[in-house]
Structure 1
Amino acid sequence: MAPPATRGWSLSQLWRDDDEEMANKKDDDIGLPRHSRHSDHWQAAPKSSLHWTAVLRLIVYAGALFMLAYGLFRIIGPAPEHQAGSKGSSGSQQAVSKAAAETSRTYNGPLKLPHLGKSLQAIMSETSGRLQKNRNVLFAAASLQSAALLLPMACQMAMERQNYVHFALMSRSDVPMKELLAVNGLDKGCPLIVHDARPDHSTTATESRMALSVARAFYFMGAYMHPQAIIIDSSSTEEKYFLSGVRDEIQAMQAALIELPERPGNRFSWLSKLDASALAAWNEVSFDILIHAPHHGTGNLKRLLRSLARADLAGVSPPHLTIELPTIIEGDLSSFLGGYQWPPKVPAGAPRPRLLSLRHRIPRQKLSEEESSVRFLESFWPIKPSHSHVLVLSPHTEVTPQFFHYVKYSLLQRRYSEIATRQDWQTKLFGISFSAPTTYLDGNREFVPPKPLEGQESGAKDTPFLWQAPSSDAILIMGDKWVELHGYVSQLLDKRHAWSTTPDLLAKKEVSKKYPAWLEYTLQLSRLRGYVTLYPTQQTADSVVGIHNDLHDVPEEYEDEATSGQDSANLFADVFDPASQVDMLATLPHGGELPLLYRMPWLTWDGQETQDSSIREAAAKYKEAFRSQVGQCKDEGPEAFQAPDPYARDLFCFAKGV
């Protein structure tokens, strides 16, 4: 359970009057373990009584130093009066102060962290700090400017009551912690746990000693806190010694390092909504982008690619982008792709990664349904199915600058959060759609979105929902579901080649030919497994992605069957604004929360409102019929059903068994 509003402050002992007494205790008194990798620097100076000759020697040295300093002052003399003007004097004094500060940073003696031990000892039992898996999240900073950026974010996350949120200061500054927090608007009402991780002699220590102190502080916080994620400011505002120290020590810690770019407060306000489990997967999760270019016309594709280049990728590892090109590449598209850069931006001086792949098939006759689906599924394969996913974008989509932020926010929350893991959502969720449907899968009936469940209205006129029917416009398909779909289609096509007639179960095509052929197979698998796709409200969808119908793309495999009536029905004025300033979080209930999956409506594949249990029951019946008619599994009852296979092999029976 999250800590009460004032518990965090009492844990850190920040507001007690005995801070100074505790600050003077040595490491041995605090009881912190040794840092074995830096043991030479960690030992305290030995105690010994000073001999009277040593005292006399010190007096002589002090006198000599005084005479030397006095002589230098006589030689250099005071600054000339003509340099004492307002601007010149100020600049000169700043330069002298900076030079003096750099010159004075020469202390490299034994290293101690006099304030850290007490706060770390206080949190161990309260926050399960000794356990590898817990709910601790750590914000850390050295620069006071970086601290000013991170402290409001840390406080906001703490106010969400999902995590134990910590903030550690590793600055050279000797500003009191109470003063730093007060200046940044934090008081006892913020349930934030603070740690003063500054070393002794921080104002005069060398850069290498400060970097070592950062590494040592993280070592101790790792041992006593085991943070699931460490959040820092990685911009030029932050101190170099801090970035060096944390990146050195993070290799030995089992924690995700989240490096925020400039202006994180506005761009990463959704970060505070994630729990420790979701944040722990920050650097493990990846997704590729897959786009199949239309057979004719290039306007849609170029519009989509330009919008992707404008989207904010900060905090998101640039995804690999694969574009499946048509048989004939028009000249303007070839020229456009020749100058297209992906990813669009890289740090100055860094090598540009090659994350764009173009695939051009050998010219031949028009694709069939089967060939089109095979080509689609061969375009991607996850390296790690549990963490590698694929984002399928139709050429007639366009994204807003905050699109990738919403993708990552949704993925982390829906797949890797504690609630998602506890309720086993990886076995239910096929994918996440970022567009709202306008028609049912038959393409003829206008889609009517469900109303919020009773008690979940929260003032909203519509609600996100779960639908058995997948989308082909803008959908993130989970890596393990892609693997299963690939296995399902490969085995189904193998069976189909031996059929003399199509089984009744698959005789009717349920998905309109306005959609690509692979969507039919995806629907079949969703019905067999009881999988659902998560859809947003129309308002949320409009804030991240637009679906254009002015130049609608007909799938190549169905071009000959498209009618002029169907084409004209798709023409209407687009109202999507790709530069919209509507914050995606403002479209979500309760200040930006993603509603829990069990608190939203569920729809069957044909659009009927239902419940999870009903979908599972229907899936079991459909699977039994499928195994008999399509999988050719004879004389088997429900007890013969195997557990779901990652490659869908349990759905088929062959001559040598399943």
Structure 2
Amino acid sequence: MTPPPKYRDKDDLGRPKSGSSPFLHDAASNWRASTFRFRRKRRTIFVFLAICAIVYLLLHSRWWNAVLVVEDRQQRGTNDDLGSSSYDYYSSSSGRKVKPSHGKSGSHKAASADSKDAHISKFTYDGPVRFVHLYETLSRVQQFHFRLRNPHVVFIAASMNTASILAGLACEMSAAKRNVVHLVLAGRSEISIEFFKKANGMAHNDACSVVIHDARPDKAGISTDARMTLAIRSAVRYIKDYIGPTVLVTDTEREEAWFRSAVTSKAEELQIAHVTLPYDISTIPWLQKLDALSLGSWHKPAIDIVIHADAHSGRLVRLLKTLEKADYFNAPLPRLFIDLDPSTDKSVRDFITSYKWPSKDRLFVRHRILPKSSAQDDPLAFVESFFPNSENSAVLLLSPNIELSPFYYHYLFYAILEYKHSNAQSGLDPNLIYGISLDLPLTLLDGKPFDPTILSSDESPASESAKKKPNSDSPFFYAAPSTHATLFFGTHWRLLHLYLAKRLDAAYTKGVDYSLPSKISSTIPQWVSYFAELLTAGGYTMLYPNFAPSDSLAVYHPPKEASSVTARTQQDVMRSNNILNQLPNGRLPLWSELPVLGMDGTRTTIASGLTAAQKYKSQILSKCGGVKRNDGEDDSVDDLFCSNGEAVQERKRLAREHQRQRELEAQAEAEAERKALARNALEAKRREREQAEAAEKMPNKPPTPEAPVAAQPLVEQAKSPVEEEPVDDDDAPKAAGAAAAPRMPVIHNKIISLADLEDVPVEVNGETVHPQDQT
């Protein structure tokens, strides 16, 4: 074994001294080899890191990305409109053009055709696409990675006329300070960005803080439609990668076909919400008040309209005309369900037959067998008229006595996007709002008139932290539902279905007190009473408008026979779009600024409503072990009823009681039948004795053939109106036995025809004669 070198045999650096040991040469060689291997590994690591740094600089440095090239190529032969050939690519560092691989593509065919007819069209260039100025602005925008709350809104325009219109809308949206607004120019115009800003009043950043991007490709003025289509698709993809917008906004009615198809298809492919504006953008002035998350939910609401017509449905025609004339801008059209009464006039049926709104495939007419009174009294008949098919479904219940404003759908759509999807309303659970009413309530649930002056009191609004006094024209929350013109969200209508399924089952409601803290009038429909129980237990509330009477969204005209309901005087529907003018500060307020009314019509807060909900749940579940834990499911009402085990046991107990009742009824029927037989037997015995005694007293002469005594059956004798004798229960079996084997009567000293006697024995001259023996 080789001894280790001693300390004195090493130099100052710890290396073995030469000649100090016979093994020093081998040790030095090993040390140098290991050092070389370490240096070689370290040099490899350094080279790898340098290569990574160079690649990073090439991909992210500004001088490399000064020109963005098209990489949005389609597979060959898959899209004729976009072209499928490999385009030329340019490198800004070398300026060298890479020769493309030519293929048989639709775009090259179009380019060759355009080259032959150059005198007809100047859009002949179909070369490679480069964005010279796009990266310069995209690199300045900080990308937000929180996709659910991304505040970026991008307006895209190809036409300069459209771009000028969108520029004004974008500036107004930017002034609201709820979004980061971008405007993308992607057309053939060669106007500079500086000139465009000056022409539209956007030169100073203080005037408009919209970020403008130049997504026009090189040689855009002479590019073919296929090249421009590929350019706009590539620009949208770059915007998605760098900015990650929530929504794209375009005015497609003023744009060319290639632009509409390119933006629509690419937005759908990248799963970006795409909002198309109407031709007259001024008709939706509330759009710029929305944030990016609300605009991204533009296509989510799915509204169905349900009308329950009564026998006096002459006003139904007026309602249908107001629905048809209303302004639905570019929102998805609702479906319409009309529920006709059996006694509907023929003129109304003929009008509905020729009614074409919204379309024949979205109009559904149903005819009831029973009159409306039965449907109004039966909660199932009314609630079952609608069931949501998605979480974004909603039903607008309209009374035939309602007259709507042409702009009712604007308010509904604006309120849904603001209070159900907005990021600014994140402090409020959207599920607490179960609906939106279009008119003020006429009465409270107890039948007393509704007083709007309570809304302007000094009591606190929805949130305890809100210190501002609510405006007199501010919308408000009210827990009680309205039945004239009300939109109910599908999630809460589905809960009502589940609630009624158990509420009307005695197994779940035995011994439970569902009485509400507030009194409900007998004139309120029964389904509203059950709905009020569910709303109180959940702490839900409804949004009501508070517009001027002359600018109402809906006006209720009570029928003549409804003397207890009086309509408000000087009411008229809104004829012009004054929605923002009727709202405080020209917008829908934050939920924390709105006043709140409880189920009884008194001022309260959202927090107080939730506390009252817990108290009510404790009341109804006091005999079932108290309030249960929430199972966490949205579509569940199990925490409002006894447990399933208790319900099963109760259902079994009810079944046993029902079976016992049936058995008792069967025993009672058998006992009554037995007593009837006993009475009949005793009655027959008594008649036999009477007949025997009467026969002994009669003279010795033949009976008249018209009324032979023995020919009458015993059953017919039992039916004669003779006073019944009381039958003792103990003698009943004996009487039954006597009835089973009755003794045949014997007629003494009577000489009559044997044919008339049938089976009755007769004593003749002291001898008993039987008719069977004579045959």
TM-score by length of 2: 0.66
Distance (whole Å) between structure 2 residues aligned to residue 638 and residue 132 of structure 1: 35
How far residue 229 of structure 1 moved from its aligned partner, in angstroms, is 0.8
How far residue 293 of structure 1 moved from its aligned partner, in angstroms, is 1.0
Counterpart amino acid of residue 447 in structure 2:
G
Distance (whole Å) between structure 1 residues aligned to residue 372 and residue 260 of structure 2: 57
Structure 2 counterpart of 1:341, from 356, 363, 381: 356
Counterpart amino acid of residue 585 in structure 1:
L
Q: What does residue 242 of structure 2 align with? A: 224
Structure 2 counterpart of 1:434, from 419, 438, 444: 438
Q: What does residue 518 of structure 1 align with? A: 527
How far residue 392 of structure 1 moved from its aligned partner, in angstroms, is 1.6
Counterpart amino acid of residue 176 in structure 1:
S
Q: Number of matched residues?
A: 547
How far residue 217 of structure 1 moved from its aligned partner, in angstroms, is 0.6
1:421-452: CA deviations, max 9, x gaps? x3242231111112112321222334244116
Counterpart amino acid of residue 273 in structure 2:
A
Whether the aligned pair in 2 keeps the contact of 1:548 and 1:574 (CA below 8 Å) is: no
Q: What percentage of aligned pairs have identical amino acids?
A: 31
Q: What does residue 409 of structure 2 align with? A: 404
Q: What does residue 68 of structure 1 align with? A: none
Q: CA 1:218–1:26 in 2, change beyond 3 Å: closer, same or farther?
A: farther
Q: What does residue 4 of structure 1 align with? A: none
Q: Secondary structure at the match of 1:166?
A: strand
Q: What does residue 89 of structure 2 align with? A: 44
Structure 1 counterpart of 2:382, from 376, 388, 395: 376
How far residue 130 of structure 1 moved from its aligned partner, in angstroms, is 8.4
1:258 partnered with 2:247: no
Whether the aligned pair in 2 keeps the contact of 1:137 and 1:228 (CA below 8 Å) is: yes
How far residue 150 of structure 1 moved from its aligned partner, in angstroms, is 1.2
How far residue 40 of structure 1 moved from its aligned partner, in angstroms, is 4.9
Distance (whole Å) between structure 1 residues aligned to residue 437 and residue 343 of structure 2: 30
How far residue 406 of structure 1 moved from its aligned partner, in angstroms, is 1.0
Q: What does residue 560 of structure 1 align with? A: none
Whether the aligned pair in 2 keeps the contact of 1:450 and 1:462 (CA below 8 Å) is: no
How far residue 100 of structure 1 moved from its aligned partner, in angstroms, is 7.6
1:367 partnered with 2:374: yes
Q: CA 1:638–1:209 in 2, change beyond 3 Å: closer, same or farther?
A: same
Q: What does residue 35 of structure 1 align with? A: 72
Structure 2 counterpart of 1:140, from 156, 161, 164: 156
Distance (whole Å) between structure 2 residues aligned to residue 383 and residue 213 of structure 1: 39
Q: Secondary structure at the match of 1:471?
A: coil
Structure possessing the higher relative contact order (Cα contacts under 8 Å, 6 or more residues apart): 1
1:541-567: CA deviations, max 9, x gaps? 934222223x36xxxxxxxxxxx6xx3
1:290 partnered with 2:306: yes
Distance (whole Å) between structure 1 residues aligned to residue 500 and residue 185 of structure 2: 55
1:367-420: CA deviations, max 9, x gaps? 16552x2122212222212x1111122222111111111110000000000133
Whether the aligned pair in 2 keeps the contact of 1:274 and 1:417 (CA below 8 Å) is: yes
Counterpart amino acid of residue 538 in structure 1:
F
Q: What does residue 610 of structure 2 align with? A: 616
Distance (whole Å) between structure 2 residues aligned to residue 340 and residue 410 of structure 1: 29
Q: What does residue 256 of structure 2 align with? A: 239
Q: How does 1:45-124 map to 2 (within 5 A)?
A: 103-123=121-141
Distance (whole Å) between structure 1 residues aligned to residue 592 and residue 335 of structure 2: 33
Q: Secondary structure at the match of 1:323?
A: strand
Q: What does residue 325 of structure 1 align with? A: 340
Q: What does residue 324 of structure 2 align with? A: 309
Q: CA 1:508–1:197 in 2, change beyond 3 Å: closer, same or farther?
A: closer
Whether the aligned pair in 1 keeps the contact of 2:550 and 2:570 (CA below 8 Å) is: no
1:187 partnered with 2:203: yes
Q: CA 1:253–1:643 in 2, change beyond 3 Å: closer, same or farther?
A: closer
Distance (whole Å) between structure 1 residues aligned to residue 95 and residue 565 of structure 2: 89
Q: What does residue 274 of structure 1 align with? A: 290
Distance (whole Å) between structure 1 residues aligned to residue 199 and residue 235 of structure 2: 24
How far residue 248 of structure 1 moved from its aligned partner, in angstroms, is 2.1
Range with greater deviation from structure 2 (175-184 or 30-39): 30-39
Distance (whole Å) between structure 2 residues aligned to residue 357 and residue 216 of structure 1: 44
Structure 1 counterpart of 2:229, from 200, 203, 211: 211
Whether the aligned pair in 2 keeps the contact of 1:132 and 1:226 (CA below 8 Å) is: no
Measured on the aligned residues, the alpha-carbon RMSD in Å equals: 3.0
How far residue 339 of structure 1 moved from its aligned partner, in angstroms, is 1.1
Structure 1 counterpart of 2:557, from 548, 554, 570: 548
Q: What does residue 490 of structure 2 align with? A: 479
How far residue 613 of structure 1 moved from its aligned partner, in angstroms, is 2.1
Q: CA 1:490–1:447 in 2, change beyond 3 Å: closer, same or farther?
A: farther
Structure 2 counterpart of 1:464, from 475, 487, 492: 475
1:29-88: CA deviations, max 9, x gaps? 4467843547955541587999xxxxxxxxxxxxxxxxxxxxxxxxxxxxxxxxxxxxxx
1:237-257: CA deviations, max 9, x gaps? 212221121022112222111
Distance (whole Å) between structure 1 residues aligned to residue 571 and residue 527 of structure 2: 27
Distance (whole Å) between structure 1 residues aligned to residue 614 and residue 96 of structure 2: 83
Q: Secondary structure at the match of 2:394?
A: strand
1:462-520: CA deviations, max 9, x gaps? 43221111111222211111111111112111238986xx9653399944354433221
Q: CA 1:586–1:366 in 2, change beyond 3 Å: closer, same or farther?
A: closer
1:574-593: CA deviations, max 9, x gaps? 53434622511100111x21
Distance (whole Å) between structure 1 residues aligned to residue 232 and residue 630 of structure 2: 56
Counterpart amino acid of residue 196 in structure 2:
L
1:176-210: CA deviations, max 9, x gaps? 12222322233322010110111111110011111
1:118-140: CA deviations, max 9, x gaps? 111111x2x52685751100111
Q: Secondary structure at the match of 2:327?
A: coil
Distance (whole Å) between structure 2 residues aligned to residue 176 and residue 532 of structure 1: 53
Whether the aligned pair in 1 keeps the contact of 2:158 and 2:255 (CA below 8 Å) is: yes
Q: Secondary structure at the match of 1:107?
A: coil
1:570 partnered with 2:576: no
Q: CA 1:617–1:108 in 2, change beyond 3 Å: closer, same or farther?
A: same
Whether the aligned pair in 1 keeps the contact of 2:309 and 2:341 (CA below 8 Å) is: yes
Q: Secondary structure at the match of 2:234?
A: helix
Range with greater deviation from structure 2 (249-258 or 406-415): 249-258
Distance (whole Å) between structure 2 residues aligned to residue 318 and residue 365 of structure 1: 28
Q: CA 1:614–1:541 in 2, change beyond 3 Å: closer, same or farther?
A: farther
Q: Secondary structure at the match of 2:333?
A: coil
Distance (whole Å) between structure 1 residues aligned to residue 146 and residue 615 of structure 2: 48
1:146-196: CA deviations, max 9, x gaps? 112211111100110000010001111101122223222333220101101
Distance (whole Å) between structure 1 residues aligned to residue 228 and residue 169 of structure 2: 25
Q: What does residue 95 of structure 1 align with? A: none
Q: Secondary structure at the match of 2:249?
A: strand
Q: CA 1:157–1:353 in 2, change beyond 3 Å: closer, same or farther?
A: farther
Distance (whole Å) between structure 1 residues aligned to residue 120 and residue 445 of structure 2: 69
Distance (whole Å) between structure 2 residues aligned to residue 540 and residue 225 of structure 1: 46
1:218-262: CA deviations, max 9, x gaps? 111111111111110021x21222112102211222211101111
1:606-637: CA deviations, max 9, x gaps? 01212222211111111122224xxxx53x13
Q: What does residue 584 of structure 1 align with? A: 579
Q: CA 1:496–1:443 in 2, change beyond 3 Å: closer, same or farther?
A: farther
Distance (whole Å) between structure 2 residues aligned to residue 131 and residue 40 of structure 1: 34
Q: CA 1:506–1:41 in 2, change beyond 3 Å: closer, same or farther?
A: same
Counterpart amino acid of residue 606 in structure 1:
D
Distance (whole Å) between structure 2 residues aligned to residue 455 and residue 187 of structure 1: 39
Q: CA 1:497–1:415 in 2, change beyond 3 Å: closer, same or farther?
A: closer
Q: CA 1:400–1:200 in 2, change beyond 3 Å: closer, same or farther?
A: same
